[in-house]
């Protein structure tokens, strides 16, 4: 070939490495090449709108336009970043032999945190986030952006326990620490670790050259993975993983679809003889869609509609269905609970008066002791659900009140004796101990569980927040500026909300469903 092959590439360190790998193979075959780093689309002009050409990929559009403009002959991409449908006139011309396909965990210090209830992991990938949370649901996953070097520096400067990277990327840049661990259980992104070369469909001479460096096994496997992705109609906004490999003349494919928070997972695995593998992607996609994948994909698509309500407690599917069509809700647990060990000395003798204000305290007691060991003469509690839980699992409740303040007022007038044992959290915002103490009632506080504030930054579109305890409000304020409507489960929560919000609304009864009713009334 007489002309110089102009190799278009993004100008990041990793993109240049990949372009040089292609350049090396082409020059080894005797072809002349030139690297052309392309920085932005600002000065590139087309006579057709991007959408007419099907140009969509955030990491590939610059090179697509440059190629269609005739500024470059070929473009080098990480194949996992390439949309499954290429722009008109552009085709996949070759893929190089694939590198390490796995995701890799880099530690800040060591891997001991993997056995801990609480830990913080960084990743900018929805797929990695969802799979990590599915395996470690009590961990916190934070977002991380930037090129490989930037992300490595952010890990170094942070108090995170670790961060997840593509093994191929850190390996190609020779930045992989010795103690890094490949996550064999995590299904990678379709085509992860593969370098792809795109060219113009009409450029037959260049296509023929590139065929010489195409790695057929990698092409077969990545084609299956990308077809699976396409059949699920997924992209960077859906947590989808897919991996195919060939061994002993057999093709094995494993795929996964998850909810963004990792609580839902649909998994498939299929093995076919090489040569009979052409329907494997379709079969696996159909398998997932028929087993709840259609509904899960609908939920993921709906998540792109601007959120107007946020719940500081994860809602069940049944609770979500109660919200009317005008409400687009997102939810997560702004308060995480860790049950404590309750020392036997607190239960040495029969306790005359016990106060319980939450179901978490009931769980803590029952985690430590059997119902037979919980010998309480009088049990006073807050909320009918807490009462039901106590009476089903421990014993009869002497009195229940709507909130902690009302319970305290009742005890001042009706308590037997002058002392109570209060099984509570390390974080409390109620008035009960103060009211009792002011009325000469001794309060023995037993820390039954710990409350961790674990909020997220809410979208700008949120107009109202559903709160279920004073601590959910405190958690919300850690990450967010106060604005909009506070929909509160009860008076104690509302009292805290009124310190910060101008518009506070209180449910008629202290249930999640009643808070949902409040929201529906606002969006009639």
Consecutive H or E run containing 149: helix 148-157
Q: What order of strands is seen across the sheet that includes strand 140-142?
A: 140-142, 120-122, 162-166, 103-107, 181-182
List CB contacts of 354: < 8 A, sequence separation 6 or more: 376, 378, 379, 380, 420, 421, 422, 423
Long-range contact pairs involving 329-335 (C-beta distance under 8 Å, separation at least 24):
329/519, 330/303, 330/459, 331/466, 332/261, 332/456, 333/454, 334/453, 334/454, 334/455, 334/456, 334/472, 334/475, 334/476, 335/451, 335/452, 335/453, 335/454, 335/469, 335/471, 335/472, 335/475
Spatial separation of the C-alpha atoms in residues 238 and 125, rounded to whole Å: 10
Spatial separation of the C-alpha atoms in residues 345 and 323, rounded to whole Å: 47
Spatial separation of the C-alpha atoms in residues 232 and 238, rounded to whole Å: 9
Q: DSSP code of 8?
A: E
Spatial separation of the C-alpha atoms in residues 449 and 447, rounded to whole Å: 6
Spatial separation of the C-alpha atoms in residues 353 and 335, rounded to whole Å: 28
For 409, counting Cβ atoms within 10 Å of its Cβ (0-12 exposed, 13-18 middle, 19+ buried), the class is: middle
Considering the candidates 81, 203, 286, 454, report the single residue annotated as catalytic: 81
Torsion of CA 116, 236, 202, 11, to 10 degrees: -60
Between helices 359-368 and 384-393, what is the axis angle to 10°?
20
Rounded to whole angstroms, the maximal C-alpha distance in the chain is 101
81 belongs to the catalytic site: yes
Spatial separation of the C-alpha atoms in residues 477 and 471, rounded to whole Å: 10
Q: DSSP code of 48?
A: S
DSSP per position, 175-232: ---TT-EE-TTSPPPTTTT-EEEEEETT-HHHHHHHHTT--HHHHHHHHHHHHHHHHT
End-to-end CA distance of the chain: 69
Rounded to 5 degrees, φ, ψ at 448 are -85, -25
Rounded to 5 degrees, φ, ψ at 309 are -135, 140
Q: Which residues are catalytic?
A: 81
């Amino acid at each position: 070939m007489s002309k110089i092959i102009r190799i278009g590439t993004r100008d990041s360190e990793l993109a240049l490495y990949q372009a040089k790998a292609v350049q090396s193979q082409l020059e080894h075959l005797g072809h002349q090449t030139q690297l052309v780093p392309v920085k932005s689309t600002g000065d590139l002009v087309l006579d057709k709108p991007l959408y007419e050409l099907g140009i969509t990929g955030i990491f590939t559009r610059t090179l697509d336009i440059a190629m269609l403009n005739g500024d470059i002959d070929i473009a080098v991409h990480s194949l996992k970043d390439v949309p499954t449908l290429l722009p008109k006139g552009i085709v996949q011309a070759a893929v190089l032999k694939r590198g390490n396909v796995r995701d890799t965990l880099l530690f800040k210090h060591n891997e001991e945190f993997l056995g801990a209830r609480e830990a913080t992991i960084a990743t900018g990938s929805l797929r990695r986030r969802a799979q990590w949370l599915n395996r470690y649901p009590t961990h916190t996953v934070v977002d991380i952006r930037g090129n490989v070097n930037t992300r490595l520096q952010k890990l170094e400067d942070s108090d995170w326990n670790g961060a997840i990277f593509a093994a191929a990327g850190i390996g190609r840049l020779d930045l992989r620490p010795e103690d890094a661990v490949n996550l064999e259980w995590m299904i990678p992104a379709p085509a992860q670790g593969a370098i792809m070369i795109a060219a113009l469909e009409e450029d037959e001479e260049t296509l023929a050259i590139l065929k010489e460096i195409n790695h057929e096994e990698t092409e077969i496997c990545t084609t299956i993975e990308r077809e699976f992705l396409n059949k699920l109609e997924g992209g960077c906004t859906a947590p989808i993983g897919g991996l195919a490999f060939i061994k002993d003349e057999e093709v094995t494919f494993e795929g996964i679809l998850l909810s963004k928070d990792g609580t839902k997972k649909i998994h498939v695995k299929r093995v076919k003889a090489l040569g009979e593998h052409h329907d494997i992607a379709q079969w696996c996609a159909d398998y997932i869609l028929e087993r709840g994948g259609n509904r899960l994909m609908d939920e993921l698509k709906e998540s792109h509609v601007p959120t107007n309500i946020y719940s500081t407690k994860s809602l069940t599917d049944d609770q979500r269905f109660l919200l009317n069509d005008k409400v687009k809700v997102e939810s997560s647990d702004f308060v995480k609970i860790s049950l404590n060990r309750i020392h036997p000395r607190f239960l040495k003798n029969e306790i005359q008066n016990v106060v319980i204000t939450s179901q978490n305290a009931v769980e803590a007691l029952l985690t430590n002791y059997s119902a037979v060991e919980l010998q309480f003469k009088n049990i006073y509690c807050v909320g009918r659900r807490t009462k039901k839980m106590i009476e089903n699992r421990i014993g009869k409740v002497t009195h229940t009140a709507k909130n902690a303040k009302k319970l305290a007022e009742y005890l001042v007038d009706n308590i037997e004796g002058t002392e109570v044992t209060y099984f509570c959290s390390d974080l409390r915002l109620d008035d009960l101990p103060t009211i009792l103490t002011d009325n000469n009632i001794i309060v023995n506080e037993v820390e039954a569980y710990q409350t961790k504030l674990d909020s997220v930054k809410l979208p700008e579109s949120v107009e109202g927040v559903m709160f279920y305890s004073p601590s959910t409000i405190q958690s919300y304020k850690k990450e967010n500026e106060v604005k909009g409507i506070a929909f509160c489960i009860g008076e104690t929560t509302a009292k805290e909300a009124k310190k910060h919000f101008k518009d506070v609304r209180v449910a008629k009864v202290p249930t999640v469903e009643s808070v949902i009713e409040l929201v529906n009334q606002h969006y009639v």
